[in-house]
Amino acid sequence: MTTAAVAPQRGSRLLAGTGAGFLLVPPVLLLLAALVVPVVAVLAKAVGSYGFDGLVTEPLRNAAFRDAVVVTFVLAVVTTVAALVVGTVYALAMSVAGPVLAKVLFGILLLTFWISLLVRTYGWLLALQPNGALDYGVREAGVASGGLGLFQTLPGLVVPMVHILLPYMVLPIYAAVQGLDQSQLRAARSLGASSTLVLRSVVLPGIRAGAMAGTVIVFILSLGFYVTPAFLGDPGDRVVAIVVGEVFGRQRDLPLASAMGVLLLAVVLAVYFVADRVLRISEQWERF
């Protein structure tokens, strides 16, 4: 799939109006019922209970929520930066490896992308838990006799998060690498540029748009992540989603859960729309 998928085509104007209104009715109805109504419902619930100011003040009065905001921000930033570095390496490796190896690397990436999030998290649980697979591995290798102790710590959460979010980073970067200008690469080479110079002033600037798209989506997704922190997060350092999930699921405090949810959603949407405006992110995503 290419960018052509979204670039409005020449001549499509001649089709304008021919049924567009009718064709768009079912998708608009779906999003109204499944997205707009629920968002309005939480908004109404929160405003009805706390007023408009309460949307911000009420969640922030909750100490657990305040702590979680800091943890979530740190986790999202660390995860995003790690995914950016690792994702760039993986995308470049796929692009320069031999054709067969490149296919294998791509296949493994897609496989992990489509294997259930829950199953992958569960796999990390088995790997990281005390006396789990990794502890066994390091003991056998004689690295650390007591095990790694990563289970339910911040690093032990970042690693699985990067694992789960990596495809969202790699796919747009890989698409950008495929869009690099061959003649520019060859010109740089024949004019005597070193590998480092080519990498720094041709390749990396060329894939920046893809990397930005990946960075934004990974950051957004890690802000609202629920499943992986539920299994692998530090119980003493909970993220926002876990705190909200507890208020909603265990305490059944719907007004407070709604207010917290609205705040989380507002932050996520703000990042999304600013990024879309500034970086035209939605067009980048559609490249894959």
Partner 1 sequence: MDLRQALRDAIGGYRAALVALGVLLAVFLLVPLVVILPQAFSSGLFFKFPPPGFSTTWFDQVVNDDLWRDAFTRSLWTATVGATLATACGTLGAIGLRRLGLGGRALRTAFLAPLVMPQLVLAIGIFVARDDLGLGSSLWTLVLGQTALAFPVVLVIASAGLSAVDPALSRASASLGHAWPGTVRRIELPLIRRSVLSAFVLAFALCFDEAVLAYFLSPPGQATLPTQLWLASTEQASPAIAAVATYVMGFVLVLLLLAGWLGRQAASNLRSAR
Q: Which of 64, 67, 123, 138 binds partner 1 (CB under 8 A)?
A: 123
Q: Reduce the DSSP state of residue 131 to 3 states and report it.
A: coil
Among 63, 235, 249, 250, binds partner 1 (CB under 8 A): 249
Cβ atoms 78, 246 nearer than 8 A: no
Rounded to whole angstroms, the Cα distance separating 5 from 257 reads 39
Question: Quick check: 258 binds partner 1 (CB under 8 A)?
Answer: yes
For residues 49-72, one letter each, b for 16 or more C-beta atoms within 10 angstroms of the residue's C-beta and e for the rest, the string is: ebeeebbeebbeebeebebbbebb
Is residue 42 a contact residue for partner 1 (CB under 8 A)?
Answer: yes
Q: Does 248 bind partner 1 (CB under 8 A)?
A: yes
If one asks whether residue 148 binds partner 1 (CB under 8 A), the answer comes out as no
- DSSP 8-state class, residue 9: P
189 binds partner 1, rule: CB under 8 A: yes
C-beta of residue 128 within 8 angstroms of C-beta of residue 232: yes
Q: Say whether residue 65 binds partner 1 (CB under 8 A).
A: no
- Among 53-61, 62-70, 129-137, 150-158, the segment contacting partner 1 (CB under 8 A): 129-137
Q: Would you count residue 196 as binding partner 1 (CB under 8 A)?
A: yes
Task: Kindly state whether residue 76 participates in binding partner 1, applying the rule CB under 8 A.
Answer: no
Is residue 99 at the binding interface for partner 1, with CB under 8 A as the rule? Answer: yes
Dist CA 24 CA 89 (whole Å): 40
Please pick, from the candidates 77, 101, 144, 274, the single residue that binds partner 1 as defined by CB under 8 A: 101
Q: State both tokens at 8.
A: 């409005």
